[in-house]
Amino acid sequence: MSNTTVETQIHGLIAQLEDYLAGRLSHLDIQNRVEQHFKAWETDAAWHAAPYAPGERAFWCALWTAQHLADDEQWKDGLPQRDLRVIIDALRHNRELPDGWQGRRPDDINAD
In angstroms, rounded to a whole number, what is the distance separating the alpha carbons of residues 95 and 111? Answer: 22
Residue 35 maps to a domain: yes
What confidence score (pLDDT) does residue 6 get?
79
Residue 89 maps to a domain: yes
Residue 112 maps to a domain: no
Amino acid at the residue 3: N
Give the number of domains in the chain. 1
Residue 64 maps to a domain: yes
pLDDT digits (tens, 9 = 90+) for 56-98: 999 999 999 999 999 999 999 999 999 999 999 999 998 899 9
Residue 31 maps to a domain: yes
Output the DSSP codes for 1-60: --HHHHHHHHHHHHHHHHHHHTTSS-HHHHHHHHHHHHHHHHT-HHHHHSPPPTTHHHHH
Buried b (16+ CB within 10 A) or exposed e, 26-59: ebeebbebbeebeeebeeeeebeebeebebbbbb
Note down the domain range covering 25: 3-106
Residue 111 maps to a domain: no
